[in-house]
Amino acid sequence: MKYIVSILCLSGLLFASSFKVGDNLSSFSCDNQFEKKMTITSNTKKIIVAFSKEKGEVIKQFLDKNPDYLKAENAIYIADVSSAPAFVTSMFMMPKFKSYSFEMGVIKDEVQAGQFPRKDDMISIISLEKGVINNIEFKQTLP
């Protein structure tokens, strides 16, 4: 029983370190769908994060209809694909992402994905000012 309690406590610590208001993200980066480094700059005002296929599709439909949104909002879009098997990610998801008309970050690592605050079936929207988080919202759709 002690072993199970220890595991649960340690797994809670792994995900307890998610970004929060006041954190500086200016050094955060991840690969985009073309496996090139995508970095948060001091000009980045918003990070939009999808944690599920369904919310990723909601964001894609919105960005297809509003092709200037990311640029106008100084925003970046990140998809968490860390829960998908590596084979599925490389053979199916990445080729699909490469056909998108917009750049997107792709997080394949569970620890890196765990840094982002999330709520079930919601899109995380992190607002920044000079690389520092000043607001975190959870929404069903964009904007």
Instruction: Give me the half-sphere count of Cα atoms (radius 13 Å) on the Cβ side of residue 87.
Output: 0
Residue-wise pLDDT tens digits, 19-38? 999 999 988 999 999 999 99
Let me know: does 49 contact 126? Beta carbons within 8 Å.
yes
Band of residue 9 on the pLDDT scale cut at 50, 70, 90: very low
User: Which pTM value belongs to this model?
Assistant: 0.86
Gap between the Cα atoms of 97 and 106, Å rounded: 9
Task: Over range 110-122, report the average pLDDT.
Answer: 95
| C-alpha 34 chain-centroid distance | 16
Q: Where are the domains of the chain?
A: 2-139
Mean pLDDT of the chain: 90
Let me know: does 15 contact 44? Beta carbons within 8 Å.
no
Structural fold of domain 2-139: Glutaredoxin (3.40.30)
Gap between the Cα atoms of 78 and 30, Å rounded: 9
